[in-house]
Amino acid sequence: MDCLFCQIIAGDVASYKVYEDEFSLAILDIFPISPGHVLVMPKKHCSTLAEMDETEAANVFRTVVKINKALADLTPNNAGFNILQNNGKGAGQEIEHVHFHIIPRFKDDHVRFKFPKYNLPAAQMKFLQEKLLTAIKKLI
């Protein structure tokens, strides 16, 4: 088993577990962006979201919501939360096991996520919309 998160789930690698149920595990990130940075992952190995079915994803996201609520209670001085999921190496995913980052944000924390914004022509937007609608219908 080469997957670090699978090893943590199996108990072969130590972690700072904060929540576990039948479907998911939540641990403190050992290289946190801020205090309270938690990782939530499915217990079943899936490299990307495309490998998960909707029920598995819903079960994991219920844990994301629980952890976010707990962190909000624990950090009443927070300025908000980033909830991130890097899906694939090209998107910055470092460990090939689906996981969500829940990152508490604080005033003047100097953490910045800056993405470029594009102004696409209406024709391109319409084209993308039609392609997505067709692709989604195939999944339903």
Q: Which residues are catalytic?
A: 99
Distance, in Å, from the CA atom of 134 to the CA atom of 140, rounded to the nearest integer, reads 10
50 three-state secondary structure: helix
Query: 107: closest CA among 74, 67, 80?
Result: 80
CA atoms of 4 and 10, how far apart (whole Å): 10
SS3 label, residue 35? coil
